Amino acid sequence: MTACRAVLVSAPASGQGKTLVTAALARAWRNQGLRVQAFKCGPDFLDPMILELATGHPVYQLDFTMCGETDCQAQLYKAAQQADLIIIEGVMGLYDGTPSSADIATRFDVPVLITIDAGGMAQTFGAVASGLLNFNPKLKSAGTFANKVGSQGHADLLRSSLPTGIAWFGALQKNPQFALPERHLGLFRAGEIGNLDDIIEAAANALATDLPLPPMVSFSQPAKQTYPQLLANKTIAIAKDDAFCFIYQANLDWLIEMGATLTYFSPLHDTALPEADAYWLPGGYPELHLAEISKNTAMKNALQQAAIAHKPILAECGGMMALSASINGNPAFNVLPGNSQIHDKLQGLGAIKVALADGEIGSHTFHYGSFATPLTPSYIAKTRFGKAENIYQHGSITASFLHFYFASNPQVAARLFLS
Q: What is the pLDDT along the chain (419 residues), one digit of tens a residue?
A: 899 999 999 999 998 999 999 999 999 999 999 999 999 999 988 899 999 999 999 999 999 999 999 999 999 999 999 999 999 999 999 999 989 999 999 999 999 999 999 999 999 999 999 999 999 999 999 999 999 999 999 999 999 999 999 999 999 999 877 667 665 556 677 667 768 999 999 999 998 677 999 999 999 998 877 788 999 999 999 999 999 999 999 999 999 999 999 999 999 999 999 999 999 999 999 999 999 999 999 999 999 999 999 999 999 999 999 999 999 999 999 999 999 999 999 888 889 999 999 999 999 999 999 999 999 999 999 877 778 899 999 999 999 999 999 999 999 999 999 98
354 within 8 A of 379, measured Cβ to Cβ = yes
267 within 8 A of 289, measured Cβ to Cβ = no
Say how many C-beta atoms besides its own lie within 10 A of residue 270's C-beta. 16
SS3 308: helix
d(CA 43, CA 325) in angstroms, rounded, equals 28
The pLDDT assigned to 201 comes to 94
Full set of structural domains in the chain with CATH: 2-219 (3.40.50.300), 235-415 (3.40.50.880)
The pLDDT assigned to 385 comes to 74
Task: Give the predicted TM-score (pTM) of the model.
Answer: 0.94
Starting at the edge strand found earlier in the chain, the sheet holding 235-239 runs 261-265, 235-239, 278-281, 313-316, 397-400, 388-394, 379-382
The pLDDT assigned to 79 comes to 98
Cis bond upstream, residue 312 (ω within 30): no
The pLDDT assigned to 346 comes to 87
d(CA 382, CA 385) in angstroms, rounded, equals 8
The pLDDT assigned to 190 comes to 65
Could you list the beta-strand ranges (E) of 330-419: 330-331, 339-342, 348-356, 359-367, 369-372, 379-382, 388-394, 397-400, 403-405
d(CA 217, CA 112) in angstroms, rounded, equals 12
d(CA 35, CA 26) in angstroms, rounded, equals 9
Q: Which of 41, 67, 245, 317 does the annotation list as catalytic?
A: 317
72 is catalytic: no
